[in-house]
Amino acid sequence: MKYLMTSAAALAFMAGAVQAEDVTLQLKWVTQAQFAGYYVAKDKGFYDEEGLNVTILPGGPDVAPTQVIAGGGADVVVDWMPSALAAREKGLPLVNIAQPFKSSGMMLTCLKESGVATPADFKGKTLGVWFGGNEYPFLNWMNKLGLKTDGTDVTVLKQGFNVDPLLQKQAACISTMTYNEYWQVIDAGVKPEDLVTFKYEDEGVATLEDGLYVLEDNLKDAAFDEKMVKFVRASMKGWKYAEANPDEAAMIVLENDETGAQTESHQKRMMGEVAKLTAGSNGALDEADYTRTVEALMSGGSDPVITKAPEGAWTHQITDKALQ
């Protein structure tokens, strides 16, 4: 009898495991504290509690989340809203289902010796810019300043995902994030007082960054819709835990870094900065933030990032359901 009961329990456990719903999440970049909320949700069992089996795919310089989801390689992706909006206008029907990042961490970091003290000093300078969808906020800013990016006013250096152009003085300014590349410059020996930084938030040109996106047609499936409700609920639980326990969250990220490239000190510092960007978000897409982003991307003069506001279900009530 004991054997039968044990076998029955084992079968019940196996049945429960089989019933877990699979979700594949594609990150925008490599494993780091920028994505701590998802790793925390997985490590702490928040996804398990929702009956989800979540696979987290790290990104990298050759990984475009929009291409991955278009090819069926992920159910949901982390991407910046400018990239997602541009992709939607080109025919990929992406929908924002959650917005964990409330604020932008993007900056231009400049060497003071280059003579850049205000945005007016950009003219005639070489500026390092990330591409692959990351260039849209920069292009919008330059359009707002009335600066052409074809070399007439500023020279755009296609920046790799490192800070070498600034260290080697190939550019007066480079793209950095408050939580990552800026600190790489500092760790390389450059003193903060020898730098001038321009935060996109402070310049009034910030656009929404890390959000969660799915394909619109998939949400017509009630089962998929419900699965995303569970995913968002568990993910935001992970994010709020990470905000409250940044050092622990950073260590969880390190445990999931299969490359061994990340360091404890850098990830703890990164998590502290990332927590400032997720603070104030419950996952719901704020209408004012969304409108600001759309208007910014449409205000590019003769070369706007998008030509019209998205039609159809650009935003979805996944988060509202998850918060109930």
The confidence score (pLDDT) of residue 5 equals 36
- Cβ atoms of residues 180 and 32 within 8 Å: yes
The confidence score (pLDDT) of residue 19 equals 86
Of 201, 218, 244, the residue that ends a domain is: 201
Tell me the average pLDDT across 198-207: 93
| Segments forming the whole domain that contains residue 160 | 104-201
Do 75 and 116 belong to one domain?
A: no
Do 95 and 222 belong to one domain?
A: yes
Do 48 and 73 belong to one domain?
A: yes
The reply to whether 275 falls in a domain is yes
Do 158 and 52 belong to one domain?
A: no
pLDDT tens digits, 232-272: 999 999 999 999 999 999 999 999 999 999 999 999 999 99
CATH number of the domain where residue 163 is located: 3.40.190.10
The confidence score (pLDDT) of residue 309 equals 80
Percent of the chain with pLDDT over 90: 75
Do 94 and 215 belong to one domain?
A: yes
Q: Is the pLDDT of residue 214 over 80?
A: yes
More confident residue, 104 or 310: 104
Q: What is the CA radius of gyration of the chain?
A: 21
Of 201, 235, 253, the residue that ends a domain is: 201
The confidence score (pLDDT) of residue 6 equals 42
Split at pLDDT 50, 70, 90, the class of 314 is low
In what side-by-side order are the strands of the sheet with 106-111?
155-158, 126-129, 173-177, 106-111, 195-199
The reply to whether 317 falls in a domain is yes
The reply to whether 12 falls in a domain is no
Q: Is the pLDDT of residue 312 over 70?
A: no
Do 117 and 142 belong to one domain?
A: yes
Does this model's pTM top 0.75? My answer is yes
More confident residue, 80 or 17: 80
Do 221 and 151 belong to one domain?
A: no
Tell me the average pLDDT across 170-178: 97
Do 211 and 85 belong to one domain?
A: yes
Split at pLDDT 50, 70, 90, the class of 185 is very high
Query: Which are the contacts of 26, defined by CB distance < 8 A and separation ≥ 6?
Result: 57, 59, 63, 65, 68, 69, 73, 74, 76, 77, 78
Split at pLDDT 50, 70, 90, the class of 151 is very high
Copy the structure tokens of residue 132: 């692959």
More confident residue, 119 or 299: 119
Mean pLDDT, the chain, as a whole number?
A: 90
The confidence score (pLDDT) of residue 203 equals 92
